[in-house]
Amino acid sequence: MKKPTIASVGNLNLDVYFRIQSLPENDGAVEAYEAYIGGGGSAANFAIQASKLGAYVRFIGAVGSDTISDALLEDLKEAGVDVKWVKRINVERSGLVVVLIGPENGKRMIEYRGANLGLTPSDVNSESLNGVNHLHVALSRLNIIEAGVKRAKELGLTVSVDGGAGLSSYDLNILKPLMDGVNTWFMNSLEARKLTGIDDPISAGLRILESINVEELIITLGPGGAVSFTKDGAKLVEAFKVAPIDTTGAGDVFAASYVFAKLIGLDRVSRLIFANAAASIKVTRRGARAGPSFSEVLEFLRTVGYSDLTNEIRSILN
């Protein structure tokens, strides 16, 4: 089988992590017992994970003119991601995110978008998408989502969207014309609750699917696994039991792994199992881009009793 070619559109950031016992009070300070940095941005994380799994990947975004931008681009290139379509914004710094990780691995983030705001709808065009099989849009800016979905339809590409927390602040009626016809829409349980006002993620997912014509809706449940919703109903696959260290980027690893599994032809349940496995490995490692390689996912699945699935995947790709 020919490897799929995926374009990922969205943010590219530098992430700065601090592990702390508690948040500081006003005008106070706390001591971090661990600190580290790494590349971030949901779309860039997605791109690197898809490349790790064996897809051909290009990233469409914008960076600044500082040395951080140079390092961020080099990180993508070293991971095998095509950065030809990344814009350089000469008067702006690249995006920066400070991640505060609490004692139970809960996290809070402070985001500076910077040069990411230089990405425009016109950057998602027939040239930047030439030769692409699938488009992934990972940000909450409605004009970029609209342009991406429209262009994907025109070019006959499949398309997925992960709008994050920002997208869940909109009304379903506003999102309906933008998301109509999207193949896969990713969100977490908190985002589903904010979008619908419904606490139960299964009920929330069914409500969204009743309102918006998407082929498939995926709601991730953290340690509870993930649910796929289609017109045929909901399918839940529980997560694998691991000891988490850093959950940052786990949703991006899950989304990239799910899209990859879908593009190579796995069924819904198998896709959920594959993506859960990749995300489970990621949360045991520090940094948003610490997702596993293709061989690591297959080995993990084999060790937890999914040898038949690993054999199926190998036979598809050989």
| Residue 24 in tokens | 């500081």
pLDDT of residue 104: 72
Residues in the chain, total: 318
pLDDT of residue 49: 98
pLDDT of residue 105: 64
CATH of residue 239's domain is 3.40.1190.20
User: How high is the mean pLDDT in each 10-residue block of the chain (318 residues)?
Assistant: 92 93 87 92 97 98 92 96 95 88 80 94 97 97 96 97 92 94 96 96 96 96 96 95 92 98 97 98 94 98 97 93
Q: How many folded domains does the chain comprise?
A: 1
Q: What's the CA gap between 269 and 275, in Å, rounded? A: 10
| Residue 232 in tokens | 């045929």
pLDDT of residue 106: 73
pLDDT of residue 87: 94
| Residue 219 in tokens | 């709601």
pLDDT of residue 305: 96
Domain range for 265 = 5-23+30-317
Burial class (CB in 10 A: 0-12, 13-18, 19+), 231: exposed
For the entire predicted model, the pTM comes to: 0.94
27 φ, ψ (degrees, to nearest 5): 65, 10
CA distances from 260 to 9, 54, 96, 271, 303 (A): 16, 9, 28, 9, 21
CB count in 10 Å sphere of residue 217 = 23
Beta bridge partners of 228: 218, 235
Q: What's the CA gap between 159 and 136, in Å, rounded? A: 6
pLDDT of residue 90: 86
CB count in 10 Å sphere of residue 306 = 18
